[in-house]
Amino acid sequence: MLIQILKKDMMKRKGVNFILFLFITIATIFLTSSINNIMIVTSAVDYYMEYANVPDLNLVLNTEIDKEKIDTWLKQQTFSETVIDYDYNQFYVIADQSITVKKDTQSSKLDNQGTAIYLSTLDSDYSQVFDKEGKPLDLKDGEIAVSISMMKRSQLNIGDTLIIRHGNTEKEFRIAKATKDAAFGNEMIGMSRFIVNEKEFKEFSEDSIKIGIYYIVTNEPIKLVDGLNEQGFNGIMNTITIDMYKLVYSFDMIMAALLILIGICLILIALLVLRFTLVFSLEEQYQEIGILKAIGLRNYSIKKLYLIKYFVIVVVGATLGTLISIPISQIMIDSVSQNMIMANSSVNMGINILCALIIIVLVSLFCYFCTRKLNKVSAITAIRGGYTGERFSKRKGIHLSRSRHLSVPFYLGINDIMNHLPRYIILMITFCMSFILITIPLNTINTMKSDEMAKKFNYDPSSAVYIHKIEDSQNQKYRNSKDLMEGVARVEKEMKEKGYDAKISAIPIYFINYEYQGDTSRYNIMSTQLLGKENTFSDYSAGTAPILQNEIAFSQGIMTERGWTIGDYVEATINGEKKTMIITGIYSDYMQLGKSARLNNQLDCSQEVMFDYWTLMVDMETELTQREMASLMNKEFPDYEWNTAQDQIDQNVGGIQAALSEMNIPMTAMLCAVIMLITLLMEKLFITREKGEIAMMKSIGFTYRTIRHWQLTRMVLVVLASMIISIPLSLLSNHYILKPIFAVMGADVAIQVNPLQTYLLYPGILLIGIMMATSLATRGIKKINIREMNNLE
Amino acid sequence: MECLTISNLCKTYIINKRQNNVLRNINLTIQSGEMVAVMGPSGSGKTTLLYTVSGMDEATAGKVDFFGKELTKLSANEMSDLRLQEMGFVFQQMYMLKNLSVYDNIILPAYQVAKGNKKQSREQIKERAKMLMQKLGISEVSDNAVTEVSGGQLQRACICRSLINQPKIIFADEPTGALNKQNSIDVMNELTRINEEGTSILLVTHDMKVASKCERILYIEDGDIRDEISLGKCHVGDNLPARERKLNDWLIKLGW
């Protein structure tokens, strides 16, 4: 009998049942495959770091002045067991202009897209590099190995030829291997190393620029970094902990995390829809329930009749979802395994099954919770169809007689919403969730495109165009700001010769030791200096920009971490001399993850070793946009890489913006499809519920068009209300979701919203989808026979 | 003047490949201002006849003329407009929109007609609705929800709604079927008064007392009008027992 009831019930509302089934299936696919991916990637990153023997701490030096002192200090640390082991390795710093790619007969410059290139060899047991299969590299003379991510980014292939000039040496290599490089292989790191064999590495001239890296094995990396800072060794450019490398790999999980979010939203929507259909079924079959109660069936036995149907839908949906999720999980894992070595790159079925079981239990419990209403109804009340008078509270709607201009369909729509607010609130929650979901990528992209974002990365948004690097093919990387500004003058001259009167400004980057007033501790802080123009474009959250030579500004991150305040003094070691400086300003930007210093542009740092320099800003009179200008300059001066502020931001955030932009249309389409399914389902249920009233309206002469208009108006009103409600909710999501994500890079940023796009255009697309779905569902009205008036309660 | 002319009207349902001829070649004419009752045993086709001639259901064959308009040739929208503007309906169950007050239910069809119709302003509609409610004695429940009034009051509200657009004919399907004796009398008195004012009425009933108030009674059996009797125009306060006796005798002859 139970099977017969179930079969009948399944067939009765097959459309609604199918949509519910679809939601459960899709949600299971998203949740199980994404959770599987995140769990596997998390454990795989640890395995990969261990496999490649990435040390706990990497200490990067740009000069070997204090190498002996550092060695001695590290040896001392081994006695106190703070340092377990360490090794030292050297990389050559290769200028962008110094690499030529030869493909067949064509030669071109390497398109490194802002990544710093280093030449290295395999002479350390730490931070090892492997081939695609995870085997150690064996490179012959004339062979070079490049990381997989770099090959993808620069469109290099095995067999291509690279000509590398460094110092007085020029050598030609054939790309023999694509490598998996745990430490420098991820594009988010912004560094990539090209590997040659030891013999050829040594053939590069000794006078070439190189960086040194200490690989340190320690149980206390933070304590060690603090200790190093306090020593104030010269030349320490950066310290990278293993956790930072791991964090970089976690960006591979962003897509999986987004899918989990969508999966959770789908489950929530499925629960809302389930509650609606379940309560609706209970109300519709009130009298039948009464009869069952009257003949002595217990509450649980009656509930079972309803629950079994949803249990079957959930079990079948979750099972199908799990089966589909297995190949999807495998695809996701395969994509991750391209960039790392994994112990086991097959799907952990257990995770998928466990997720599916959790979904089944959760949904079943929720259904049981929804049937509680049945306990409260007595047999006689149910038999009477609820007509005890108690079910009818005071009318909440508006009076048609009191409205002057409302059309009948419009009035009926508003009146319905006001009378059954909880029912429509469920729909509004669903719509609001979709609207908010759609605003997240839009606001992220808008924020990334904003002037404020450019300023956070130290780019003047009003500049005409930007140049990435200006070393010419004869030059090695610039060692100090004097070399850099000579290069700037050269480029300005080249531009002037072609009729472009431009002023180029540069930001050299130094790592400078600071001592706080009266304190013996030293702090190695990345410091920048804007040369070539007044620092007018940068914002300061407190105080002012350093105007005099002895003035300095620190980022909020440094000021908070160290407990410094404006007006305090610090002693900086610049050009080998100690200079006392007063803190005049606090700012917040993304340089060095929000921990940096800004020096005054009059301060002479020409002898200070420069770690690197930031993208150059070109100011000139032009009517062209940055994009047009970059395109023009790339044609006029093809030796340099000309970019827009957006290109620069993109390089810094690892192409997230492009990925989000690509995702925008599929995500909108997917959301639109989901929301259309929900609307279709809800509208079908509304029509089923209102069959009697619709038949009655038809009988007294209301046309199909008028009734359809009523249904459509009601849904549009719900959507419009949801659009309005979602505006403040979206602002909250900006504050509590997006802001913390941007803050990971080291600074707060005001989330940019394009109101027309975010609150009108995209929700408008969803509105059109909802109207289409409603129109589709209301076609069922035509089939309602006037005799179905008898269904009226 | 002929209000409704029905010629060779047939209605056939096909259920499980079996043909069921519910109406067979019905020929009937209802004059303007006439009040006609249709009686007959259950399943004889009374309600189907009412639904088919009022355009709520489609005829399988035959012709229905309503003041010269051939209903069977009208499109669904034209038929809806006609029902809304020129016909009124009263059903056995008091079908109303439960989210609306009694008053709003009554004015709803008129507001729909008034859309784009300058002749009838919303104020005029409200005045007419108030007048009708006063006439039918339900003014005091006008703002109540439909679930808060008695069956008799609700049926009178349904009559108000059916009259709001000043129809030429009212179709009533067992209008007193769900009411107690006193409410039935009240409702029938109202229908009689409406008919006296010139509105034609075609009603279906099982109740002899209800039918006795009609000018003409048709007896339908197996989808065919077997016989009819004319009792003459009934006025409020007429000698009803005599009309009832005559009707009873006629029905007994027909095997009622």
For the stretch B57-101, pLDDT in tens is 888 999 999 998 998 888 888 888 899 999 999 988 888 888 889
A448 forms beta bridges with none
What chain B residue is nearest to A418 in terms of C-alpha separation?
B99
Nearest-5° angle of CA A776, CA A779, CA A784?
150
What chain B residue is nearest to A706 in terms of C-alpha separation?
B112
Residue numbers in B near A399 (CB within 8 A) = 101, 103-104, 143
Q: What is the C-alpha separation between A348 and A353, in angstroms, rounded? A: 9
**pLDDT value for A777:** 92
Let me know whether A439 and A364 are in one domain: no
Question: How far, in Å, are A27, A296, A317, A365 from residue A269 at the CA level?
Answer: 10, 36, 15, 16
Q: Is residue A398 part of a domain?
A: no
Residue numbers in B near A709 (CB within 8 A) = none
User: Six-digit token pair at A441?
Assistant: 């990528």
Picking from A251, A281, A299, the residue at the C-terminal end of a domain is A251
Residue B83 to residue A700, Cβ atoms within 8 A:
yes
Question: How far, in Å, are A61, A535, A612 from residue A511 at the CA level?
Answer: 10, 20, 10
Let me know whether A288 and A436 are in one domain: no
**pLDDT value for A389:** 43
A299 forms beta bridges with none
Q: Is residue A639 part of a domain?
A: no
Task: Please tell me the distance in Å from A405's CA to the nearest CA on chain B.
Answer: 9
Quick check: A421 contacting B, CB < 8 Å?
A: no
Beta carbons within 10 angstroms of residue A486's beta carbon: 11
Residue numbers in A near B81 (CB within 8 A) = 701, 703
State how many domains chain A has: 4
Nearest-5° angle of CA B19, CA B24, CA B28?
155
Find out whether A109 and A96 touch, Cβ atoms under 8 Å.
Answer: yes
Task: Please tell me the distance in Å from A779's CA to the nearest CA on chain B.
Answer: 15
Let me know whether A613 and A708 are in one domain: no
Helix A67-79 / helix A221-231 crossing angle, nearest 10 deg = 140
Let me know whether A62 and A176 are in one domain: yes
What's A709-768 look like in SS3? HHHHHHHHHHHHHHHHHHHHHHHHHHHHHHHHHHHCCCCCCCCCCCHHHHHHHHHHHHHH
Helix A656-689 / helix A645-652 crossing angle, nearest 10 deg = 80
Which chain A residues in 161-220 lie under 8 Å from chain B, judged by CB atoms?
none
Q: What is the C-alpha separation between B69 and B53, in angstroms, rounded? A: 12
Let me know whether A679 and A553 are in one domain: no
User: Six-digit token pair at A790?
Assistant: 């008898």
Residue numbers in A near B104 (CB within 8 A) = 399-401
Beta carbons within 10 angstroms of residue A271's beta carbon: 19
Let me know whether A219 and A344 are in one domain: no
Which residue of A388, A392, A401 is the best one to mutate when testing the B interface, meaning the one whose CB has the most B CBs within 10 A? A401
Residue B108 to residue A408, Cβ atoms within 8 A:
yes
Quick check: A100 contacting B, CB < 8 Å?
A: no
Q: Is residue A691 part of a domain?
A: yes
Q: What is the C-alpha separation between B45 and B62, in angstroms, rounded? A: 16
Let me know whether A760 and A771 are in one domain: yes
Residue A415 to residue B99, Cβ atoms within 8 A:
yes
Q: What is the C-alpha separation between A166 and A186, in angstroms, rounded? A: 24
Quick check: A407 contacting B, CB < 8 Å?
A: yes
User: Six-digit token pair at A126?
Assistant: 């730490």
**For chain B, how many residues are written?**
256
**pLDDT value for A14:** 77
Residue numbers in A near B98 (CB within 8 A) = 693, 793
Q: Is the dihedral of CA B109, B111, B116, B118 positive or negative?
A: positive
- Residue-number span of the structural domain to which A603 is assigned: 465-621
Residue A400 to residue B148, Cβ atoms within 8 A:
no
Beta carbons within 10 angstroms of residue B178's beta carbon: 16
Let me know whether A245 and A289 are in one domain: no
Residue numbers in A near B46 (CB within 8 A) = none
Let me know whether A440 and A502 are in one domain: no
Quick check: A692 contacting B, CB < 8 Å?
A: yes
Residue B99 to residue A700, Cβ atoms within 8 A:
no
Is the CATH code 3.40.50.300 the one for domain B2-253? yes
Which residue of A387, A391, A392, A400 is the best one to mutate when testing the B interface, meaning the one whose CB has the most B CBs within 10 A? A400
Give me the residue label for tokens 């701490």: A57
Give me the residue label for tokens 């006392």: A580
Q: Is residue A117 part of a domain?
A: yes
Let me know whether A48 and A60 are in one domain: no
Give me the residue label for tokens 């979602």: A726
Task: Please tell me the distance in Å from A707's CA to the nearest CA on chain B.
Answer: 11
3-state SS class at B132: helix
* A534, amino acid identity: E
Q: Do the bridges between strand A642-643 and strand B87-90 make them parallel or antiparallel, or are there none, so unpaired?
A: unpaired
3-state helix, strand, coil in chain B (%, to 5): 40, 25, 35
Residue numbers in A near B82 (CB within 8 A) = 701
Find out whether A359 and A28 touch, Cβ atoms under 8 Å.
Answer: yes
Query: CB pairs below 8 Å between A and B: how many?
Result: 93
Let me know whether A133 and A199 are in one domain: yes
Let me know whether A475 and A452 are in one domain: no
A483 forms beta bridges with none
**For chain A, how many residues are written?**
793
Quick check: A793 contacting B, CB < 8 Å?
A: yes
Q: Is residue A676 part of a domain?
A: yes
Q: What is the C-alpha separation between B137 and B194, in angstroms, rounded? A: 14
CB-closest option in A389, A706, A792 to B112: A706
Which residue of B47, B54, B56 is the best one to mutate when testing the A interface, meaning the one whose CB has the most A CBs within 10 A? B56
Q: What is the C-alpha separation between A337 and A316, in angstroms, rounded? A: 32
The overall pTM is greater than 0.80:
no
Closest listed residue to residue B177, CA positions, set B29, B46, B32 = B46
Residue A698 to residue B145, Cβ atoms within 8 A:
no
User: What ipTM goes with this model?
Assistant: 0.84
Picking from A207, A230, A251, the residue at the C-terminal end of a domain is A251
What chain A residue is nearest to B159 in terms of C-alpha separation?
A700
User: Six-digit token pair at A694?
Assistant: 């619709």
Residue numbers in A near B115 (CB within 8 A) = 407-408
Task: Please tell me the distance in Å from B129's CA to the nearest CA on chain A.
Answer: 10
Quick check: A772 contacting B, CB < 8 Å?
A: no
Task: Please tell me the distance in Å from B109's CA to the nearest CA on chain A.
Answer: 8
Residue numbers in A near B80 (CB within 8 A) = 698, 701-704
Which residue of A384, A387, A388, A395 is the best one to mutate when testing the B interface, meaning the one whose CB has the most B CBs within 10 A? A395
Q: Is the dihedral of CA A568, A573, A578, A579 positive or negative?
A: negative
Residue A401 to residue B93, Cβ atoms within 8 A:
no
What chain A residue is nearest to B90 in terms of C-alpha separation?
A700
Low-confidence ranges of chain A (pLDDT < 70): 1-6, 205-208, 251-256, 258, 379-396, 473-476, 535, 654-655, 790-793
Task: Please tell me the distance in Å from A1's CA to the nearest CA on chain B.
Answer: 25
> What dihedral do alpha carbons B81, B82, B85, B88 form, nearest 10°?
-120
**pLDDT value for A661:** 81
CB-closest option in B96, B104, B162 to A400: B104
User: Six-digit token pair at A406?
Assistant: 């409302």
Residue numbers in A near B161 (CB within 8 A) = 700
Residue A400 to residue B100, Cβ atoms within 8 A:
yes
Task: Please tell me the distance in Å from A673's CA to the nearest CA on chain B.
Answer: 32
**pLDDT value for A246:** 83
DSSP run (H or E) holding A391: none
Q: Is residue A646 part of a domain?
A: no
User: Six-digit token pair at A109?
Assistant: 């410059």
Quick check: A706 contacting B, CB < 8 Å?
A: yes
Task: Collect all residues with Cβ–Cβ distance below 8 Å to B228 and sequence separation of at least 6.
Answer: B216, B217, B218, B219
Beta carbons within 10 angstroms of residue A626's beta carbon: 23
Q: Is residue A291 part of a domain?
A: yes
Backbone angles phi, psi at B31, to 5 degrees: -80, 155
Nearest-5° angle of CA A368, CA A374, CA A377?
165
Q: Where are the domains of chain B?
A: 2-253
* A248, amino acid identity: V
Quick check: A349 contacting B, CB < 8 Å?
A: no
Q: Is residue A631 part of a domain?
A: no
Average pLDDT over residues B186-214: 90
**pLDDT tens-digit map of A196-216:** 998 888 887 665 677 889 999
- Biggest CA–CA distance in chain A, Å, is 101
Beta carbons within 10 angstroms of residue A108's beta carbon: 11
Residue B81 to residue A392, Cβ atoms within 8 A:
no
Task: Please tell me the distance in Å from B210's CA to the nearest CA on chain A.
Answer: 23
**pLDDT value for A617:** 94
**pLDDT value for A438:** 87
DSSP assignment of B8-45, as one string? EEEEEEEETTEEEEEEEEEEEEEETT-EEEEE-STTSS
Closest listed residue to residue A778, CA positions, set A640, A638, A679 = A679
